[in-house]
Amino acid sequence: MAGKKHSQKTSAGDEVRAVVDRIEDGDIAVLGLDDEAKTQLDVPLARLPKGANSDGDHLILKFAVDAKSGERKLKSIKAAPAAARADASDRVKKMQARLARMSGAEDKKDFKV
Amino acid sequence: MLLVLAIIVLVGLFAYFKFYRPAPGPKLPPPSGDELSIHVLDAGQGDAILIVAPGGKTALVDASVPGSGKKILAALARYGVDHIDLLIATHPHADHIGAADEVIKGTTVKTVLDSKVPNTTKNYEDFLEAIEDKGVQYVGAEPGQTFDLSSGVIISVLAPIQPLFTKDQLRSGGNEPNANSVVTRLDYGEFSIMLTGDAEVQTEARMMEGGSRLAATVLKVGHHGSKYASSEDFLRQGKFKAAVISCGADNRYGHPSQEVLDRLRAANVRIYRTDLQGEITIKTRGKEDYQITTEREAPADAIATGRKAQKDDSAKSGFIQYGDFGPAPKASPKAKAANNSSR
């Protein structure tokens, strides 16, 4: 991936929601974009806004799209409203609890798969 | 004289229980003697490990990055696997559960073992939704659980250990999903493999303190060979003969690190790497002998040489300039709905 350039011709999607999936060695933040392809984007950690630079933080990315080449360049990274993270966290925890309840496997130790 | 003898006996007993006593574990059934195969797939900068037990039971440990579902499903087809009995999601990062929803939709998965450490990414939500939609059994990992794949193959859960690690207990830059990875070991007769997810040194230390059974034939190296995993103490206790590092040829995170490669070599562990050797296959009949084969060969000096993490040069243009960026995003239906409702 490093060194590879994509020049998809399009003018779509100049603002995209993203979540900090993880911070990797070398202080690289890996962002998961809320697009169909679940694109992952590596960004230097120092470029993330203060207060939105940890795993699970929600962001809004803005891109400039070159009309001719279709190439996109990241213009800005903003923190998404705090409610975005809280809502997602709430949804995920509810879903986990529901799935665990449905499975009926709580407290079970030995599984014959 | 008697007092001296008593002291020697007491010291001996203490040393035995502290350092040598085999850690307690489940009673293991004898191996059937037929072939168990473990395929560490070459699925980019992410883990995906397919286990095929002699009787045909299967497990998949992680499902690599988003978009790698086709590759994983193709591997299943290649080995004649038409279902997954147990999918272990070691932790909710996109390089481990990235294509889990694709796998769940693309084949029959019976049980999912999850760390239950939540992540607020679309990726993790899609994974949970796929479990729900397909009616897959969902199990939260706890030490002491065992999963019997028949024919004498047992997968035991060693971590996450309660109470789970919290952010303030971790190194700067460390994170809860990695630290609370599902760590398992597979035993088949005299063969065993430790599957560590992205567990780092603090998780290793907790397992050592807790007396987990760590000695194994093969180690799936934690966190793709990050310098923050695979401590000297852990390698000493593990007594591993071989180690497999699953990482992408194009990663910029410095995986595997030179430090870990040096520690493995100092511990006399033979190293295999998916970034250089492609898919790595381990086969055993449950005796001490086992075979490890690789998709392609790589020179020994390359295998012993680590990668350097890319540093921020955003004074110029940053990583984005390097173009780690696919086609323009099409907003997901959920995002579209959210955008419309907020306008």
> Interface pTM (ipTM) of the complex?
0.87
CB spacing of B326 vs A6 below 8 angstroms: yes
- Name residues of chain B where pLDDT drops below 70: 1-2, 12-24, 312-343
- List helix spans (H) across chain A: 82-103
Interface test with A, best of B93, B122, B148 (most A CBs within 10 A): B122
Q: What pLDDT score does B312 carry?
A: 59
From the list A40, A91, A96, which residue is nearest B116 (CB)?
A96
Nearest to residue B112, comparing CAs of B182, B213, B165, B187? B182
B275 touches chain A (CB under 8 A): no
Q: Extract the tokens encoding A89.
A: 């966290």
**Number of Cβ pairs < 8 A linking chain A and chain B:** 228
Q: What are φ and ψ of residue B81, in 5° steps?
A: -95, 120
Rounded Cα–Cα distance for residues B216 and B213 (Å): 8
CB spacing of A33 vs B331 below 8 angstroms: no
Q: What are φ and ψ of residue A23, in 5° steps?
A: -110, 125
CB spacing of B137 vs A26 below 8 angstroms: no
Q: Which of residues 231-260 of B touch A (CB under 8 A)?
A: 248, 250, 252-255, 257
What are the chain A neighbours of B249 within 8 Å (beta carbons)? none
From the list B128, B149, B319, which residue is nearest A42 (CB)?
B319
Strand segments (E) across B189-336: 191-195, 218-220, 242-245, 270-273, 280-284, 290-294
Q: What pLDDT score does B215 carry?
A: 98
Q: Extract the tokens encoding B131.
A: 């479990």
Task: Please count the CA atoms within 13 angstroms of the CA of B100 that sit on its side-chain side.
Answer: 35
The nearest alpha carbon in chain A to B330 belongs to A35
Q: What are φ and ψ of residue B9, in 5° steps?
A: -60, -45
pLDDT in tens, B195-218: 999 999 999 999 999 999 999 999
Place of tokens 């073992």: B113
Pick B291 or A1 by higher pLDDT. B291
What are the chain B neighbours of A110 within 8 Å (beta carbons)? 145-146, 148
Rounded Cα–Cα distance for residues A105 and B249 (Å): 39
Q: What pLDDT score does B331 carry?
A: 47
Place of tokens 């700067």: B172
CB spacing of B148 vs A37 below 8 angstroms: no
CB spacing of A13 vs B328 below 8 angstroms: yes
Rounded Cα–Cα distance for residues A80 and A51 (Å): 11
CB spacing of B129 vs A95 below 8 angstroms: yes
- List helix spans (H) across B217-283: 232-238, 258-266, 274-277
Q: Is A63 left (phi over 0), alpha (psi -120 to 50) or beta?
A: beta
* Class of domain B30-298 as given by CATH: alpha beta
Q: What pLDDT score does B294 carry?
A: 98
Q: CA–CA distance from B237 to each of B220, B233, B259 (Å)?
A: 15, 6, 18
**pTM, full prediction:** 0.87
Q: How far is the alpha carbon of A42 from chain B, nearest alpha carbon, in Å?
A: 7
CB A39 within 8 A of CB B123: no
What are the chain B neighbours of A46 within 8 Å (beta carbons)? 312, 314
Q: What pLDDT score does A14 carry?
A: 79
Q: Give domain limits for chain B.
A: 30-298
CB spacing of B312 vs A46 below 8 angstroms: yes
Q: How far is the alpha carbon of B199 from chain A, nearest alpha carbon, in Å?
A: 13
A44 by DSSP, 3-state: which? strand
CB spacing of B252 vs A26 below 8 angstroms: yes
Residue A104 reports pLDDT greater than 90: no
Q: What pLDDT score does A4 carry?
A: 32
pLDDT in tens, A2-52: 333 333 333 345 788 999 999 998 788 999 998 888 888 888 888 889 999
Q: What pLDDT score does B14 carry?
A: 60
The nearest alpha carbon in chain B to A63 belongs to B328
Average of per-residue pLDDT across A74-90: 92
Nearest to residue B183, comparing CAs of B148, B207, B163, B164? B207
Q: What pLDDT score does A12 carry?
A: 46
Query: β-strand B290-294 against B58-61: which pairing, if any?
Result: unpaired
Q: What pLDDT score does B195 carry?
A: 98
